[in-house]
Amino acid sequence: MGLAPTKSGHGYWMVARDGGIFAFGDARFYGSTGAIHLNQPIAAMTARPDGKGYWLLGADGGVFNFGDAAFGGSMGANPSPDPAQKIVSTADGGGYWIVDQNGTANGFGHATGAPPVQGLMFRALTRGDKAVLFAFSQLGKPYIWGGNGPDGYDCSGLTLKSWQVGAGTSFARVANDQYHTAGGPVALTDLQTGDLVFWGSNANDWASVYHAAMYVGGGRIVESTGDHVQLNSLDQWGGDVMPFGRRP
């Protein structure tokens, strides 16, 4: 399920789904979870930069530390809806980030800010994942005012079609009506993959909403804007973002 090199590059560790560790070259064995009953399989591993220990990551965000790799915390008691996929060490080995498959990173120990760029494999598990996966398949299609697909979309046309096709869920067609009625409200700090996010001219007036998009994870959104469907940052529109999103 994962592999980590030693500091010298003359060895490496491999980890199996049960947390069994296989050490090669100058990689030292510090322990494993091979004999422990795990709630979730091991998804990844990473080593301290000095090679004197390593962390194993469960799919639920649980962390197992060995050697000099210190335990800084985990997502095990409060797992994300999406599975954990990467654990990334800080440069000093004093902390790590746990990264979900949707790109959301949670830091522990000395880990602050964002981790180095990671490649992630996306697998649709939740209804929101499935809606986003459909939206991804529409990337690059033209923005068309009133467009409902398949040739092109406007902003709310994309969000609606993505949830209809991807998750079998329907709601209002127009952006301000979606903000008013499309599922329960979600705080912007609690957004999950597939949640709808909105922009308007008055934070207290749902009728002022003029744009809708879908949250992907890691502070990113997929939206139909400008002249095509594209992937952008949640904060690109500045202060007009409405105070909560919707989860259909």
pTM, rounded to two decimals: 0.68
Q: How many CB atoms lie within 10 A of CB 164?
A: 17
The per-residue pLDDT for 104 is 86
Backbone angles phi, psi at 162, to 5 degrees: -65, -40
Right CATH number for 127-247 from 3.40.140.10, 1.10.260.40, 3.40.920.10, 3.90.1720.10?
A: 3.90.1720.10
The answer to whether 142 and 226 have CB atoms below 8 angstroms apart is: no
The per-residue pLDDT for 120 is 81
Residue with tokens 């912007």: 188
The answer to whether 31 and 13 have CB atoms below 8 angstroms apart is: no
SS3 158: helix
> Does residue 150 have a cis peptide bond before it, meaning omega lies within 30 degrees of 0?
yes
Residue-averaged pLDDT of the chain: 93
The model's confidence at residue 78, banded by pLDDT at 50, 70 and 90, is confident
The answer to whether 95 and 55 have CB atoms below 8 angstroms apart is: no
In this predicted structure, which of 13-27, 183-197, 232-246 has the lowest mean pLDDT? 232-246
The answer to whether 57 and 98 have CB atoms below 8 angstroms apart is: yes
